[in-house]
Amino acid sequence: IEIYSLHVDCKVTSRFAHTVITSKIVNRANESREATFEVELPKTAFITNFSMSIDGKVYPGIIKEKASAQVEYDTAVSRGQSAGLVKITSRKLERFHVSVSIAAASKVTFELMYEELLKRQLGKFELLVKVRPKQLVKHFQIDVHIFEPQGIRFLETNSTFMTNELTEALTKVQSETKARILFKPSVDQQKVNPELDETLLDGDFVVRYDVMRGATAGDIQIVNGYFVHYFAPQEMPVFPKNVVFVIDRSGSMGGRKIEQTRDALLKVLQDLRPEDHFGFVTFNNKVVEWKSSLLQATAENVASAAGFVQTLSASGGTDINRALLTALSLLGEAQGLPERSISMIILLTDGQPTSGERNVEVIQENIQKAVSGKYALFCLGFGFDVEYKFLEKMALSNGGIARRIYENADAALQLQGFYEEVATPILMKIEMQYPGNAVEGVTKNNFKLFFEGSEIIVSGKIKNDLDLLPVEIKAQSHASDLTLKEEANVKEKEQVFQNQSYIFGNFIERLWAYLTIQQLLEKSISAQEGDQKSLEAQALDLSLQYSFVTPLTSMVVTKPAGEQETELANKPTEAG
């Protein structure tokens, strides 16, 4: 079985990435063989299309509501269920895997298409292509086109497998608003050494970039009656923060995990700013406060905390409820905090509540009542024994987010990286306002906090023939209350994309649908049951209308007769 061509074509238009992976395979044996197509794609992406074409006959994947696809599938496969086609494989990736039997001398072409909105983190956008052909490929290429009307501020590519020879196969062409990156290694360049048929291509190919920004109320782009508004202010004073670290030291945290936690916390302590206040609550079946009140992050207090962190050891049960309530009362009773400051709790746990209150719903209610919108709660779940759904619901209900920390060698870096993302809040209570009579279907436009290095994105539809779209942003910074105003000239904005031949026309509409689905799904996690159903119904309609494989839809892949005829591609979620 020979993969004679493998192309990855990626077009990024204003952060929205559209990727097509095409693999052409020939069976050079004189009997039929299995041809396999295996691709790792970002978890944040939605698959939008897949097809196999065998000797000219096309077998398309069809996207349906998950429940009805499952029924159809179960009927087709009365002989026991086969595994789904998509599985989470790592912190950032999931794997799509399909194989099909092809006759001697036959050819098959696999094509997979997926889309995602690139998210700005720590000042850059990242486009990740996983490369793993497992054999030398005659025609191999990765072709990335980027068009950013705001202008490209910087662009870098790196990969985990680059050698000097392979660097020669990489070309980068860049203008003010466009970039093209082409990686096209010959068979000789792909080889580990000239004698062996082993490939070097195994790992990540990453493109990172950021865009230019004026000091205005963000940037508005408009195509075919849909708008997207990007807002990422820079060079603003940072809010002092009051942060309580709530650290699980139950028995299961023993060994490697507690070491990595100590390493990460020591680094995080170094990153606190002098005007920050902080505290530690550690817990197993007992809850211990490092100090009975929050302390300012002076050099002396930080050094003393580092001494405490180094003594952390693991044993006993897990009383999440009391640990969080203790942290909340530390914040509630804190004296002398800066007037304009932001209070947050960062919980790190690797297990389920086993001591004290064990009912997760009761814990959620207790915490939500105690937080009552005043603080942000971030929940980090270490490994796979945590009840991730519970952590995610608790974080999203209390103005924060949840993240899974994977038990790898880089777990300490994952923890530090998460802290860096939330370490510099520069705006709070951000409201992105558009005149109600001018727009509809607007995505989330109120945000509790904005962290430096990230980006706020709002999208919607423009009603009627509007000439000017006025926007107003209200927010609180550390120094003052802000009001920023801007007017977008609809015709001029539409012009920007008119003559860009390689852009798929309705990309802002698809971006709007992608963002709306993501937000409806996120909202449904912390919603009451009745609301949950209606949020999911809306997300399902959009998933079907725009053909996205989301947690509510399935792609039914039909194979030639004589094989197990149908298989399902579902979207896995972090909560499983």
What structural domains and CATH numbers belong to the chain? 2-212+549-570 (2.60.40), 241-423 (3.40.50.410)
The rounded distance, in Å, linking the Cα atoms of 408 and 546 is 36
Query: 230 - beta bridge partners?
Result: 219, 457
Q: Residue 576: is its pLDDT beyond 80?
A: no
For residue 212, give the amino acid letter.
M
pLDDT at 81 over 50: no
Q: What local confidence, expressed as pLDDT, does residue 562 receive?
A: 64
**228: exposed, middle or buried (C-beta count within 10 Å: 0-12, 13-18, 19+)?**
buried
3-state SS assignment for residue 182: strand
The token duo for 388 is 């991730």
CA distance 170 to 140: 12
Candidate from 49-58, 182-191, 495-504, 551-560 with smallest mean pLDDT: 495-504
Mean pLDDT within 330-358: 95
pLDDT digits 0-9 by tens, 156-168:
999 999 988 899 9
Beta-carbon count within 10 A of 98 CB = 20
Give the contacts of 270 (CB within 8 A, at least 6 positions apart).
Answer: 302
Is 564's pLDDT higher than 80? no
pTM of the prediction?
0.94
Q: Kindly provide the b/e burial profile for residues 561-570, where b requires at least 16 CB atoms within 10 angstroms of the residue's own CB.
A: eeeeebbbbb
Q: Is there a contact between 261 and 348 (Cβ–Cβ < 8 Å)?
A: yes
Q: What is the structure's pLDDT at 79? A: 44
- pLDDT tens digits along 432-465: 999 988 999 999 999 999 999 999 999 999 988 8
390-446 pLDDT, tens digit per residue, is 999 999 999 999 999 999 999 999 999 999 999 999 999 999 999 988 999 999 999
CA dihedral 146, 150, 153, 157 (to 10 degrees): -10
CA torsion sign for 117, 120, 121, 126 is positive
CA distances from 336 to 230, 343, 423 (A): 36, 13, 21
- CB count within 10 Å of CB 207 equals 25
What does the pLDDT average to over 547-573? 85
501 pLDDT exceeds 60? no
